[in-house]
Amino acid sequence: MSEIKLTINGVPCAGQTGETILDIAKRNGIDIPTLCHDGSVAHYGACGVCVVEAENSPKLLRACSTLAADGMVINTEGARCVQARRIALELLMSDHDGDCMGPCRLACPAGTDCQGYVKQVALGNTKEAVRIVKERLPLPACIGHVCPHPCEKDCRRGLVEEPISIAGIKRYMAMDMLDKTDKWRPERAAATGKKVGVIGGGPAGLTAAYYLALKGHDVTLTEQMPKMGGMLRYGIPEYRLPKAVVDAEIAEIAETGVKMENGVAIGRDISFADYRAKFDAVVLAIGAWKSSPLGCAGEEQEGVYGGIDFLRSVAQGAPLDIGRRVAVVGGGNTAMDACRTAVRLGAEKVYIVYRRTRNEMPANPEEIEEAMEEGVEFKFLTNPAEVLGEDGRVRAVKLQVMELGEPDASGRRSPVPVEGKFETLDVDSVIAAIGQKVNVSGFDGVELNRRGIIAADESTFRTNLEGVFAVGDATNRGADIAIAAIGEAGKCADVADSYLKGAVVPYRKPFVSRRKVTAEDYKDREKKPRVRIENRPAEERRRDFKPVNSGFDAEEAMKEASRCLECGCHDYGDCSLIRHANRYPIDPERLAGQKRKHDSETRLAVIERDNGKCILCSLCVRVCDEVAKEGLLGLVGRGFGTVIKPEFRDTDRIKVCASCGKCVAACPTGALKMLK
């Protein structure tokens, strides 16, 4: 062997004759993607992902099997090789039949690993469960209490009988760890010397502050209200989310080094320009604290309140005067919180006025049902036409009777007035819970969209002002559920961190493989009914602000968590295929066609083979033959129908698989799984 010299991506590299381009690149810290290569077996060059360009060579070279030569000039990221890689990956992914992540995780706006923490709860390991969830969500106890759990809507357990109670499990595990002395605590990166100001102490601001602090930045969280928590504290009633839980999780965020200042309003106590001057970056997470008006005659009278204003007054211990008879206008969760709070304040008659039917209500079905149990009367297909008053005070509300017409942009059928048909309710107050607006007073220079909401780039979260980012209810599409604001804030923290390091790296939604399934795929699964959480009797709970229920105990949580079907890939974190698929933008759908029939088999007894995930790289075959010296695997069939199967000559030989597992370790996609 003799020394050779070559250049890879402009970097002078030295190697030995007999070495491949891939070997030399790897030793010099240059990453060339590959799927079929493993240093323990002979070169193969099957996947085509490792192709590179060589100066003066008309064809692309496979780096894993091409021997390096003295004087070579190699480009591993040239336009031709990148295009070839993309096509190779698109072809592989177009036939790939596997779930990278469970549908629950994909449905979560924050991308929390539901499958991961549910599994840990099933095993009784709540500390590890909290560690997993806090990778994306720093407020699991709060969100476990209040989240409308979009994850559960996509849970495949629903194809068997009922979805898993993911939110209930999250609430249990977070509460279980909240008061423990040996709770999981995150590690903070070394100090960067950069200062970040986060304005707004709600779920988005708390999240952004938490993750930016963990990245080593000096973070100050500024809030105009007396205490942190935002809508978690001031917009959600005590019976749904105890303030002690909010306090405990905020204290954990403060432990990461976040400085918290309350009672400081931008534009009143400090100008926005002066605030910005104190920091290297600023994140706006100011929420949407203004209630939308009713838009009908008479709403200026005393006794007409905004839903957010009403709930905030109760949270601050000074409830607004609502009288004995109350009409709450709206069909969302704020409307449910308002009507149920009015009941608890002693109102004798509480109405929900909603212009569509129950089927179209955006509120949680559980909230609607519980409100009905507590005596709230629902006036569907009605809409305020006029608030009637006497001496400037509300005495009644005139309702326009509606009917449903054609679907609107949201997919719901539009309410249409029934001409000449009205109904009147005698009430002492009207609470408008039909939407929320942003108060941007004091934030001079920040560009707004046509709806009066802060305009922020959806990939970078940057505003028109240098170094100023914005997230949550105050941006773009407006008010949403808390977990959506948290998801945005986590992504923004990553982008803001890249900005502070000198180069903005936009958020890009990761590519994932999704398996299409039906109830037929799960017909053999044992039916296990959902574990029910019992509420306190309606007649009892409507008289106080104590929690409606106490949630799962340990036995119930573990039993419910054990219902998980574990849809997501067991090897997602180490899958080379998905890592490379996210390295380059790919579009497998453009090459979509008939997929090979998916099946799994366990003839190896201790190893499950999922042929839907297999990319026929043959690594398992070669490792079994060349490294394990067993030769138990082989390619069977020809062309598109080729599969890898065991080829036993002596069935006793499968026992060696239990102590070997080398093929599983070599598999680049998670097509192989060691069984317990």
- Of 23-27, 94-98, 532-536, 549-553, the one with minimum mean pLDDT is 94-98
Note whether 118 and 567 are within 8 A (CB).
no
- How does pLDDT run across 245-286, given as a tens digit for each residue? 999 999 999 999 999 999 999 999 999 999 999 999 999 999
Q: What is the mean pLDDT of residues 372-395?
A: 97
Strands 377-380 and 413-426: unpaired
pLDDT value of position 208: 98
Query: Given a cut of 80, is residue 654 above it in pLDDT?
Result: no
Cα dihedral sign for 45, 48, 50, 56?
Answer: positive
Residues in Cβ contact with 172 at an 8 Å cutoff, skipping those fewer than 6 apart = 121, 126, 144, 551, 552, 553, 554, 556, 557
pLDDT value of position 634: 87
Structure tokens given for 47? 């996947």
pLDDT value of position 635: 85
- How does pLDDT run across 328-340, given as a tens digit for each residue? 999 999 999 999 9
| Residue 465 pLDDT class (50, 70, 90 cuts) | very high
Distance CA 229, CA 250 (A): 7
Structure tokens given for 612? 């839907």
Query: Given a cut of 80, is residue 537 above it in pLDDT?
Result: yes
| Residue 317 pLDDT class (50, 70, 90 cuts) | very high
Instruction: Please name each of the domains of the chain with its CATH number.
Output: 3-94 (3.10.20.740), 291-436 (3.50.50.60), 597-674 (3.30.70.20)
> In which element (H, E) is residue 206 found?
helix 203-214
Higher pLDDT, 272 or 591: 272
pLDDT value of position 609: 87
3-class DSSP state for residue 621?
helix
Distance CA 388, CA 426 (A): 9
pLDDT value of position 265: 97
The DSSP call for residue 602 is -
- How does pLDDT run across 409-444, given as a tens digit for each residue? 777 788 999 999 999 999 999 999 999 999 999 999
pLDDT value of position 179: 85
pLDDT value of position 648: 61
Note whether 407 and 414 are within 8 A (CB).
yes
pLDDT value of position 513: 92
Beta bridge partners of 407: 413
3-class DSSP state for residue 656?
helix
CA nearest 578: which of 494, 458, 459, 671?
A: 671
Q: List the helix and strand counts (H, then E) for the chain.
A: 22, 25
Order of strands across the sheet with 429-432? Answer: 304-306, 429-432, 325-329, 349-354, 377-380
Amino acid symbol at 231: M
The DSSP call for residue 298 is T
Query: Given a cut of 70, is residue 221 above it in pLDDT?
Result: yes
Neighbours of 268 (CB within 10 A): 10
Note whether 155 and 163 are within 8 A (CB).
yes
Distance CA 357, CA 380 (A): 5
Query: Given a cut of 70, is residue 650 above it in pLDDT?
Result: no
pLDDT value of position 601: 76
CA 458 to mean position of chain CA atoms: 16
Residues in Cβ contact with 334 at an 8 Å cutoff, skipping those fewer than 6 apart = 235, 307, 308, 311, 433, 436
Burial class (CB in 10 A: 0-12, 13-18, 19+), 555: exposed
| Residue 374 pLDDT class (50, 70, 90 cuts) | very high
Beta bridge partners of 416: 403
Q: What is the mean pLDDT of residues 498-516?
A: 94
Helix H, strand E, coil C: the string for 564-597 is CCCCCCCCHHHCHHHHHHCCCCCCHHHHCCCCCC
Amino acid symbol at 611: N
Query: Given a cut of 90, is residue 475 above it in pLDDT?
Result: yes
214: phi then psi, degrees, rounded to nearest 5 = -65, -25
- Region of 10 (left: φ > 0; alpha: ψ -120 to 50; beta: rest) is left
Percent of the chain with pLDDT over 70: 99
| Residue 528 pLDDT class (50, 70, 90 cuts) | very high
pLDDT value of position 611: 85
Residue by residue, DSSP assigns 45-105 as --S-TTEEEETT-SS-EETTTSBP-TT-EEESS-HHHHHHHHHHHHHHHHT----SS-HHH
| Residue 98 pLDDT class (50, 70, 90 cuts) | confident
CA nearest 489: which of 179, 143, 233?
A: 143
3-class DSSP state for residue 114?
helix
The pLDDT mean for the chain works out to 94
- Spell 374-384 as b/e; 16+ CB within 10 A means b: bbbebbbbbbb
